[in-house]
Structure 1
Amino acid sequence: MPGKARRVATATATSALVVCAVASCSLVGGGPDRGPDDPTSRRVVLVTHDSFAYDEAVVAEFEESSGIELDVRQSGDAGELTNTLVLSRDNPIGDVVFGVDSTFASRAIREGVFEPYRSPAAADGADRYRIEGADDETADALSAVDVGDVCLNIDVDWFADPANGGIAPPTGFDDLVDPDYRDLTVVPDPATSSPGLAFQLATIEHYGDDGWADYWAGLRDNGVKVTGGWTEAYTQDFSGSSGAGPRPIVVSYASSPAAEIGEDGEPRTTALLDTCYRQVEYAGVLAGAAEPDGAREVIDFLLSEPFQSQVAENMYVYPVREDVALPESWEAAAPLPEDSAALPADEVDANREDWVEQWRTIVLG
């Protein structure tokens, strides 16, 4: 999943999660009147990615009302999480999963990782993001929980500074191969980064089978820098982040500018919304779960108004519920893109490995 929000702005909120993930413990503990030895308490294991963060009070209320002791276990980024689920499908490592995104969803479904379940709450917005091109049973294997659009982000202040040569801010993909923008762009490697892969898919959707490879050759020749992951690209190389790196163009998220508000109340960065690729994060009941009923209740909770209303501030992604408003600061700095690119999940699944290998040959040699 998600901009600065995904790993930087949520660092404090996730610190307790990391400790608990290592210890495989319950984060909230079942409420004040219900301990782990209470026979009415059900322990449900939620497997998720490293960027999962939330309002503890909201989860505590869910635990208290449901009698579920939520045991959160983190397992890398979206790609690592999917690989772990596939490898353990005959002996599932939990009951429910959150964080498989739209670039990996078809693979997990094809490998039989999930048991179909459609939450009653899906009608409130999640159904808009059902797995495209799937039959009803396959589509119900996963429930959309949040949306995180990957886009080019630029440092507005850098381009406004005359000392940087008076270069006009880029407006889309094509500008990045113009010699004026040489050595200004940093991207995460799609082989090792979910947003990096999403950006590659955006270029494939934009330029088509016959043009995307030539585009990346142009980026290579124009000095694009490739990092192993989003964190390095954004926090070390991007000039618009706290790291104040040397490059004013980065692959990040449409929501990232909301984390870069200056003292004057204005965002210091902006996302180029014509370059966005829609990533959807899903939750699903794991086939063979020890607590399938509890797993379904957790999905209902993830789609509920109390959980959805704190998604933006804790994980810097967009909630799927249509009746949940974004934080006020997001309305100007980080509106949800209206027309993000997306490729069918089955097409991505069928071609992902070949596309990434072709990318590596072109860009890294």
Structure 2
Amino acid sequence: MHRRFMLVAAATVAVASLAACSSGDTPDSPAASGTSAAPGSVTLVTHDSFALSDGILDDFTAQTGIAVKVIQQGDAGALVNQLVLTKDAPLGDVMFGVDNTFASRAVDEGVVAPYTSAAPAAADAAKHAGGTGLTAIDYGDVCINVDHAWFTKHELAEPTSLDDLTDARYKNLLVVPNAVTSSPGFAFLLATIGAKGDGWQAYWADLKKNGLKVADGWSDAYFTDFSGGGGGGPRPIVLSYASSPPSTVPKSGGAATTGALLDTCFRQTEYAGVLTGAKNPQGAQKLVDFLLSDEVQADIPTSMYMYPVSTAVEIPADWQKYAPLATTPFDVAPDQITANREAWLAEWSQTVIG
């Protein structure tokens, strides 16, 4: 239902309670921000695609004496729904994975308590906050992806724009996740609203006439329907991420077999925050700070296939070639998303699903 190729393919999501090892302050420890020690445990409520490399959360425990329990709640939309439904009796202490398509709802519902991190990367995070008051941790572009090999084999020029996707040359070639049930799917709906304005419904009607397929979620679209996702599907155009292509570089070497269309993108930012009513708010603050540490930020590209907000860590070399960000992604203001989300989804469903 979400993205992250290596995560779905390898099923390496780390969901565990980690035993406390020792306490103590380090340069990346939130103790430097003025919070007192918070031994015991914290519960992180997140989406199904959260995964850091083995041992990283153990390092947090070693630095702070705080064990971490991870609870996963579906994609970003399902996560927000659960946080809102349980806000009077929160599921945990800290959340990660609410993105900019849902952040305003979480803030308006009072799900997250105010907290300003003093971690070194906090200034970088603030540049991506978008007025939410939340702590940005990572970001990436939701974009149309194409299978280079398929188009070469069929001697057909690849599409390059949103308008190309309605061209008869690409009939029955595109698959996207459902905008109602998938956060990347909703992000792509927002891309088309940002691009087409009041004409977005007509654009989707044209996509439907051109043989659009709607999958339940990202994994179905990418791994089952997409010809370049490893499952041998029939469709060479799929909605995914600008960071998807590096995962298709052959192990034996060579170039990525897929590419992202950077004129079709919507930028997605993921946030963390201390939950209102947290049992261990000081421990939650420490974990938010830890997510901004160099250790975590450097791990994000290879573990969660997103860009870190910190400018102090290096991006993998193949990302510079195969996972560049869009220069001018489409944008929709957060307050407009909040005001129109339900109406837009209802109109999308009526237009596309019928």
Q: Do Structure 1 and Structure 2 share a fold, with TM-score over 0.5?
A: yes
Paired residue for 1:31?
21
1:287 deviates by 0.6
Paired residue for 1:135?
none
Paired residue for 2:29?
none
Deviations 1:110-134 (A, max 9, x none): 11101111112354411111134xx
Paired residue for 1:354?
343
Secondary structure class of the residue paired with 1:154: strand
1:42 deviates by 1.6
Deviations 1:273-323 (A, max 9, x none): 111101111001101111111111100000111110000101111111111
Instruction: Map 1:110-149 onto structure 2 (within 5 A).
Output: 110-121=108-119, 122-132=121-131, 139-140=132-133, 142-149=134-141
Aligned residues: 340
Contact 2:141 2:267 in 1 (8 A): yes
Equivalent of 2:81, from 77, 80, 83?
83
Paired residue for 2:12?
13
d(CA) in 1 for partners of 2:151 and 2:72? 39
Equivalent of 2:54, from 33, 53, 56?
56
For residues 66 and 197 of structure 1, do their structure 2 counterparts lie closer, same or farther at Cα, with a shift above 3 Å needed?
A: same
1:256 deviates by 0.5
Contact 2:20 2:67 in 1 (8 A): yes
For residues 225 and 157 of structure 1, do their structure 2 counterparts lie closer, same or farther at Cα, with a shift above 3 Å needed?
A: same
Paired residue for 2:179?
190
Secondary structure class of the residue paired with 1:362: helix
> What is the one-letter code of the residue matched to 1:150?
V
For residues 107 and 33 of structure 1, do their structure 2 counterparts lie closer, same or farther at Cα, with a shift above 3 Å needed?
A: closer
1:239 deviates by 0.5
Paired residue for 1:212?
200
> What is the one-letter code of the residue matched to 1:145?
I
> What is the one-letter code of the residue matched to 2:318?
S
> What is the one-letter code of the residue matched to 2:234?
P
1:221 paired to 2:221:
no
Contact 1:6 1:51 in 2 (8 A): no
d(CA) in 2 for partners of 1:30 and 1:76? 27
d(CA) in 1 for partners of 2:111 and 2:137? 18
For residues 103 and 196 of structure 1, do their structure 2 counterparts lie closer, same or farther at Cα, with a shift above 3 Å needed?
A: same
Paired residue for 1:107?
105
Deviations 1:207-260 (A, max 9, x none): 112x11111010000000001100100000000111110000000000000111
Paired residue for 2:236?
248
Contact 2:23 2:61 in 1 (8 A): no
> What is the one-letter code of the residue matched to 1:363?
V
Deviations 1:162-210 (A, max 9, x none): xx2x22100010111011110000011100000000000000000112x
Aligned-residue CA RMSD in angstroms?
Answer: 1.8
1:334 deviates by 0.8
Contact 2:6 2:247 in 1 (8 A): no
Paired residue for 2:69?
71
d(CA) in 2 for partners of 1:3 and 1:288? 30
Equivalent of 1:160, from 152, 158, 167?
152
d(CA) in 1 for partners of 2:54 and 2:238? 32
**Normalised by the size of structure 1, how large is the TM-score?**
0.89
TM superposition outliers: structure 1 runs of 4+ over 3 Å: 1-4
1:32 deviates by 7.2
d(CA) in 2 for partners of 1:91 and 1:271? 42
Identity %: 49
> What is the one-letter code of the residue matched to 1:5?
F
Equivalent of 2:218, from 230, 235, 240?
230
Q: Please, which moves more after superposition, 114-123 or 94-103? A: 114-123
**Normalised by the size of structure 2, how large is the TM-score?**
0.92
Q: Please, which moves more after superposition, 53-62 or 315-324? A: 53-62
d(CA) in 2 for partners of 1:106 and 1:321? 23
d(CA) in 1 for partners of 2:230 and 2:204? 28
Secondary structure class of the residue paired with 1:282: strand
